[in-house]
Amino acid sequence: MAGGYDDRDGVIWLDGELVQWRDANVHLLTHAMHYASSVFEGERAYNGKIFKSREHSERLLFSGRELDIPIPYSVDEIEEAKYAVLKANNLSDAYVRALCWRGSGDDMGVASAKNPVRMAIATWEWGAYYGDAKMKGAKLDISRWKRPSPETIPCFAKAAGLYMICTMAKHEAEAKGCSDAMMYDYRGYVAEATGANIFFVKDGVVHTPKPDCFLNGLTRQTVIQMLKDKQIEVQERHIMPEELHDFEQCWLTGTAAEVTPVGQIGDFTFEVGDMARTIAEDYEKLVRA
């Protein structure tokens, strides 16, 4: 599949029906376009099976509840739809995007309770998120934007509005020749990258930020369990910026990122070492098992 994302062959599941890709459109006055009233999931299928599929569908419904977007489909219905789209597009290794939003209706101010909740599922082929970084390690900028306090926004939902500062941070990073940016949280602790969680290694112990103001990713949870199964100590804790120079290895985790080693964050450098490579390889085996 090639071309802009609005101009491709294939089908998209839209409000219960499979429609032609180019016909999967919404009105200009869709509430989500103006007020970010939407939630989504990013998933990957390997050999025809979506990894952690039900967990993603369950989280989608959770995110909808957090943002007062009552999604009119059950987990089982969402699961059926995702696999129908994969089959219709003849894809076995693919990215899967499930999206729910407040559509156009009687409301066009901040409130949107009168507007219908709509849903779409699209799938497409998508390779390595950071290109060749899995071999040499990604280069990250340090963003000036911070993850917000839980008192300001439903930060544990996977909501579109939470990603605007991520987009700005990534644009600034790419302009500096970096693949991504690492973000601090509102207190100044190390938080995550723009679309991936982060891990560090020091003296054989793995350290990862405590997810108390950002998304506790499904890939993050998977990798933590993999490490514990290997009897590797994992410390989930607040990490101060000055600790970065002490860490030996670093990697990112996420559905899109999978497990990607990091070679540099700002002026701090890291070895693409055995633990990072092993976890990346073991994760690849797990998702294709």
Question: So which residues are the catalytic ones?
Answer: 158
Sheet holding 49-50, edge to edge: 17-20, 11-14, 117-124, 94-102, 38-46, 49-50
In three-state form (DSSP H/G/I as H, E/B as E, the rest C), the secondary structure along the chain is: CCCCCCCCCCEEEECCEEEEHHHCCCCCCCHHHHHCCEEEEEEEEECCEECCHHHHHHHHHHHHHHCCCCCCCCHHHHHHHHHHHHHHCCCCCEEEEEEEEECCCCCCCCCCCCCCEEEEEEEECCCCCCCCHHHHCEEEEEEEEEECCCCCCCCCCCEHHHHHHHHHHHHHHHHCCCCEEEEEECCCCEEEECCCEEEEEECCEEEEECCCCCCCCHHHHHHHHHHHHCCCCEEEECCCHHHHHHCCEEEEEECCCEEEEEEEECCEECCCCHHHHHHHHHHHHHHCC
Identity (one letter) of the amino acid at 214?
Answer: F
